Amino acid sequence: MPTTLRFDRSSEATPRDPHRTGCPFHDVRAMLRDVGLRPTRQRLGVGWLSSRKGDRHITAEILHDEASRARVPVSLATVYNTLHQFTEVGLLREFAVDGSKTYFDTNVHEHHHYFVEGDNEVLDIPGEVNMAEMPQVPAGYEVARVDVIVRLRRKD
């Protein structure tokens, strides 16, 4: 069964796209080519790791850990830099929880998140979040993006 890559921005890719073969490595290569990034070994490795399980919220540490286990030789700094490069070209969306924890989301469509305290788990909020009233932005500015993070904790 072909791996579905969120990365390929399926709205733009057709099933007959000659680049897309169903092989994850080929798809990552095509995805990198589409955004103008040279398919280096590190980028292919990080691209494959981050997209192989469908939509995910990952940190550089999680991905580096998976790289080690999958015997993809890549340093934490390289994972971090590569994730940032992917974010810059729109393949990933970055958001911070707790100020220090940076997550990268393979779903780049507009959506919001639950954060489960204690478990450090990030979940997508399905559907829209109704913002009753947006604040008036200062003159000369516009809203670039709104990230809602609803923090959850388990009930006793």
- The answer to whether residues 48 and 25 touch, using CB atoms and an 8 Å cutoff, is yes
Residue 94 within binding range of Zn ion, rule CB under 5 A = no
d(CA 156, CA 154): 6
Nearer to Zn ion, 19 or 151 (CB): 151
Q: How far is CA 115 from CA 13, 19, 103, in A?
A: 31, 36, 11
Least CB distance from residue 147 to Zn ion, whole Å? 10
Residue 58 within binding range of Zn ion, rule CB under 5 A = no
Question: Which residues 6+ apart lie within 8 Å of 55 measured at CB?
Answer: 6, 105, 106, 107, 124
Question: Which residues 6+ apart lie within 8 Å of 77 measured at CB?
Answer: none
Least CB distance from residue 123 to Zn ion, whole Å? 8
- Mask for 106-135, x = binds Zn ion (CB under 5 A): -x----------------x-----------
Nearer to Zn ion, 64 or 93 (CB): 93
For residues 96, 98, 99, 100, the Cα torsion angle rounded to the nearest 10 degrees is: -90
Q: Which range of residues in 45-53, 61-69, 83-91, 99-107 is near Zn ion by CB under 5 A? A: 99-107
* Residues near Zn ion (CB under 5 A), total: 3
Least CB distance from residue 107 to Zn ion, whole Å? 5
Q: Which range of residues in 32-40, 79-87, 97-105, 135-143 is near Zn ion by CB under 5 A? A: 97-105
d(CA 22, CA 27): 7
Nearer to Zn ion, 34 or 124 (CB): 124
Residue 105 within binding range of Zn ion, rule CB under 5 A = yes
d(CA 113, CA 69): 28
Q: What is the contact surface with Zn ion in residues (CB under 5 A)?
A: 105, 107, 124
